Amino acid sequence: MAKLSIMLISVFTITIHHLWIPGVLSATYTIVNKCDQTVWPGILSNSDSAQLSTTGFTLQKGESKTITVPSSWGGRFWGRTHCTQDSTGKFSCVTGDCGSGKLECAGGGAAPPATLAEFKLNGYGGLDFYDVSLVDGYNLPLMVVPQGGTGGNCTKTGCEVDLNGACPSELKVTSTDGKENVACKSACEAFREPQYCCSGAYATPDKCTPSSYSQLFKSACPRAYSYAYDDSTSTFTCAGADYMITFCPSPKTSQKASQGQNEETPATTQINSTMVYEGALEDDSSSASPPTCTGSGLIAGAVSIGTALLTSWLTL
161-188, pLDDT tens digit by residue? 999 999 999 999 999 999 999 999 999 9
Give the pLDDT band (50/70/90) at residue 254. low
Model-level pTM?
0.75
Q: What is the pLDDT of residues 135-145, one digit of tens each?
A: 999 999 999 99
| Residue with more model confidence, 1 or 271 | 1
Q: What is the pLDDT of residues 222-236, one digit of tens each?
A: 999 999 999 889 999
Tell me the C-alpha distance between 44 and 75, whole Å.
Answer: 6
Indicate the SS3 state at residue 239.
strand
Average pLDDT over residues 252-269: 43
38 contacts 59 by C-beta, under 8 angstroms:
yes
Q: What is the pLDDT of residues 98-130, one digit of tens each?
A: 999 999 999 999 999 999 999 999 999 999 999
| Residue with more model confidence, 305 or 158 | 158
pLDDT over 50 (residue 303): no
Q: What is the pLDDT of residues 63-102, one digit of tens each?
A: 999 999 998 999 999 999 999 999 999 999 999 999 999 9
Q: Which of 18-32, 69-83, 163-177, 299-313 has the lowest mean pLDDT?
A: 299-313
Give Dmax over CA atoms of the chain in angstroms. Answer: 84
pLDDT over 50 (residue 7): no
The architecture CATH gives domain 27-289:
Sandwich (2.60)
Tell me the C-alpha distance between 26 and 72, whole Å.
Answer: 8
Tell me, what's the pLDDT at 251?
64
Strand partners, 146: 243
Tell me, what's the pLDDT at 152?
76
Tell me the C-alpha distance between 124 and 261, whole Å.
Answer: 35
Tell me, what's the pLDDT at 26?
87
Tell me, what's the pLDDT at 250?
85
Contacts with 35 (C-beta within 8 Å, 6 or more apart), sequence order: 61, 79, 140, 141, 247, 248
Indicate the SS3 state at residue 60.
coil
Tell me, what's the pLDDT at 243?
98
Indicate the SS3 state at residue 310.
helix
200: left (phi over 0), alpha (psi -120 to 50) or beta: left
Tell me the C-alpha distance between 43 and 30, whole Å.
Answer: 13
Give the pLDDT band (50/70/90) at residue 219. very high
CB atoms within 10 A of CB 131: 27
Per-domain residue ranges of the chain: 27-289
| Cα separation of the two ends of the chain | 9
